Amino acid sequence: MKDQDDGSKIIKAVLIGDGAVGKTSIRRNYLGEEFIEGHLATIGVDLATKRVLFNQDVVKFILWDLAGQPTFEKVRANYYHGCTGIILVYAVNDRESFDNASKWLVEAYKNMGPLPPTIIIGNKIDLRRLATSDCVTAEEGQAFAERFIEKLEVPAVFRETSAKTGENIDGAFTELLTMMSDRDRDKDRSSIFTGQP
């Protein structure tokens, strides 16, 4: 956790995943903004902030919303820095976005090293019952998350959401913030023993 000039704390997390899976919509829903039906591709990077309770402090939570297009890879690289949480999103009705999920973690790893607490989100569950092609199941999402946790030893949870109906969005962020604050507290505790800042 970083201190700003005015002494207040900030924490940062980054939204990653293919284009059009709903990253911006998830962020908007979390911030209480209305759902937009059309897709306006995020250009480069967007930022949103919210005040949240974090280890008994009110802190500024910064969410980086990165453009998913491969052409923005260089732009994205800067924004991973200093993030202590990841929100990885795919859409349940877009199998390719699920297949690409591990590529996103590889990109994050390239830029951050060992990964911070991560929430893996299967979004657009409201579309599952309408879908004509086969959707990614909750079991597949959970299995992917478990493989990831085991392989990289990262605290991670899997949740399914709808940014349209708002289902599970707040819960997903609460889980992420809990993992992030646990990690932060563990760090503080270990620095007491080692004397490291």
Ligand X SMILES: Nc1nc2c(ncn2[C@@H]2O[C@H](COP(=O)(O)OP(=O)(O)O)[C@@H](O)[C@H]2O)c(=O)[nH]1
Question: What residues form DSSP beta bridges with 91?
Answer: 123
User: What CA dihedral angle connects 38, 158, 14 and 81, to 10 degrees?
Assistant: -160
Looking at beta carbons only, is 126 or 140 nearer to ligand X? 126
66 to 105, contacts with ligand X by CB under 6 A? 68
Among 48, 82, 126, 142, contact with ligand X (rule: CB under 6 A): 126
Residues 91, 158, 64: CA angle, nearest 5 degrees? 65
How many residues appear in the chain? 197
Evaluate whether 66 touches 16 at the Cβ level (below 8 Å). yes
Among 84, 123, 168, 181, contact with ligand X (rule: CB under 6 A): 123
Looking at beta carbons only, is 59 or 89 nearer to ligand X? 89
Stretch that binds Mg ion, among 5-13, 39-47, 112-120, 165-173 (CB under 5 A): 39-47
Taking residues 159 to 188 in sequence order and writing x for each that binds ligand X by CB under 6 A, - otherwise, the string is ---xxx------------------------
Taking residues 94 to 123 in sequence order and writing x for each that binds Mg ion by CB under 5 A, - otherwise, the string is ------------------------------
Phi, psi of 81 (to 5 degrees): -60, 130
3-state secondary structure (DSSP) of residue 47: strand
- Residue 24 in the binding site for Mg ion (CB under 5 A): yes
